[in-house]
Amino acid sequence: MTTNMMSPYAPVRYRGVPWWEYSRELARTGWVTPEGGIGGQLYEKIDEEFIGPMMRLTIQTYNAEGKSDVIGQGLAQLFETPHWMVMAAQFEQCGREIFDLNERLVASFHETDLGNCTLESWQPPYDAFFLRFGKQEDIRLDFIDEDNQFEYLDGAFVAVSPYDPGNPIKRLRLGLTTVRKDGSGMMGCGYFLDFKPDTHDMLVSDAIEKALASRQEELNPSPGASENEKVFAEIRKARYAEAATLLRLGARLVFNSLFYIESIESTQERAPGRDVPEKLKQQWRNAPPLKQNKLKSKLTADGFTVVRLLGYNMPPDETPGLEGGTGTTLRTHWRRAHWRQQAYGEGMKLHKRIRIPKVLVNRDQLDGDLPGRIYKT
């Protein structure tokens, strides 16, 4: 299977890449279940059948290309693969669901605070899926190549899975994907964060910091590690330290997206992806549901995909509201959009997340141009 590095969707770009194909085999043979369960000795199997051979190939390739100085970085990325394989295998078994977010919706998330929200009671639309943001110019990271370019956040895999048999709270795994400046995908594994049950009652902003700290701690060398193992552990930790800002901002986009999906009444209908030729899109629009299923198979075989569109029916800019005063006069200013965890139900024991749009405070006091920044919605 050929690889389409220019697809706007990472799951399509990864088709044909060795680690993704190995993940599909894990799904096919039951080593990973749709619910995220894994077979015993899975990680040992991955080490023996994939990591070991690929490690030797990586060393040989970099040495042959005269890039022995970046071998450690190549291996650091390779050793992230097991986490991604579990997410990829789960994604393959959960319908390959992709949410394609409209650019204006993504822009509004950049200007929306996560407020007092936690992950408590959050329910995913599927146990595994992918969020497409598009290339985020302001969320980028240096990567080493002959052109000294950047890699830019463009999407995220989301997967929930059991943490341990006695804990009903599932872990939430995120895998952030990146692209180059021209939109071509980075074909290795991206950046991984694991939100374990002990983070679910934290404010989301604190949970992100806890996940980042836990990831660094997990990369510490084990007692009795050799000098080579210690050096390699430091290389892996440095990779995450360098990516900390990308991970923070990327995770914020993910959680805004998850809360938005949770807040809408139903998941959006499927539609051909943005890279599908217009002729095929027209066939889809004219086809009855049963024929659309056949068209979906054809699109997939041709290297395209069917997605769920989010935010494409957004109204024009939200109309700024007015906030009541408290007896203290404040200068006119924009208040950022934010999420609020609101109590409801009998005894106010249940909670739901609602998005509070941006608001212009003390509009009637405005005299001349509005000071400060105008936040987008």
Over the stretch 106-123, which tens digit does the pLDDT of each residue have? 999 998 999 899 998 899
Higher pLDDT, 377 or 183: 183
pLDDT of residue 322: 31
Yes or no: say if 143 and 190 are a contact pair by the CB < 8 Å rule.
no
- Comparing 266-275, 295-304, 343-352, which segment has the lowest mean pLDDT? 343-352
pLDDT of residue 368: 54
- The CA-based dihedral angle spanning residues 341, 344, 348, 350, taken in that order and rounded to the nearest 10 degrees: -70
pLDDT digits (tens, 9 = 90+) for 15-63: 999 999 999 999 999 999 999 999 989 999 999 999 999 988 888 877 7
Yes or no: say if 125 and 159 are a contact pair by the CB < 8 Å rule.
no
pTM attached to this predicted model: 0.86
**Residue 339, class by beta-carbon neighbours within 10 Å (0-12 exposed, 13-18 middle, 19+ buried)?**
buried
Q: Who's near 288: CB < 8 A, 6+ residues apart?
A: none
Distance of CA 191 to the CA centre of its chain: 9
pLDDT of residue 1: 54
* 276-304 per-residue burial string, b: 16 or more CB within 10 A, e: under 16: beeeebebbeeeeeeebeebbeebeeebb
Q: Does the pLDDT of residue 359 top 70, yes or no?
A: no
Higher pLDDT, 347 or 221: 221
pLDDT of residue 330: 46
Q: How far apart are CA 131 and CA 120, in angstroms?
A: 21
**Residue 215, class by beta-carbon neighbours within 10 Å (0-12 exposed, 13-18 middle, 19+ buried)?**
buried
Q: How far apart are CA 3 and CA 116, in angstroms?
A: 42
Local confidence band at 198 (pLDDT 50, 70, 90 cut-offs): very high
Q: Who's near 13: CB < 8 A, 6+ residues apart?
A: 3, 4, 5, 6, 7, 185, 187
Parallel/antiparallel/unpaired status of strands 270-272 and 306-310: antiparallel
Average pLDDT over residues 124-131: 96
Average pLDDT over residues 342-366: 69
Phi, psi angles (nearest 5°) of residue 42: -60, -45
Two tokens, residue 324: 């009541």
First to last CA, the chain: 41
Q: How far apart are CA 268 and CA 166, in angstroms?
A: 34
Give the mean pLDDT of the chain: 85
Neighbouring CB atoms inside 10 A of 132's CB total: 25
Average pLDDT over residues 69-79: 78
- Residue 3 is which amino acid? T
Q: Does the pLDDT of residue 372 top 70, yes or no?
A: no
Q: Look at phi and psi of residue 117 and say left if phi exceeds 0, alpha if psi is from -120 to 50, else beta.
A: beta
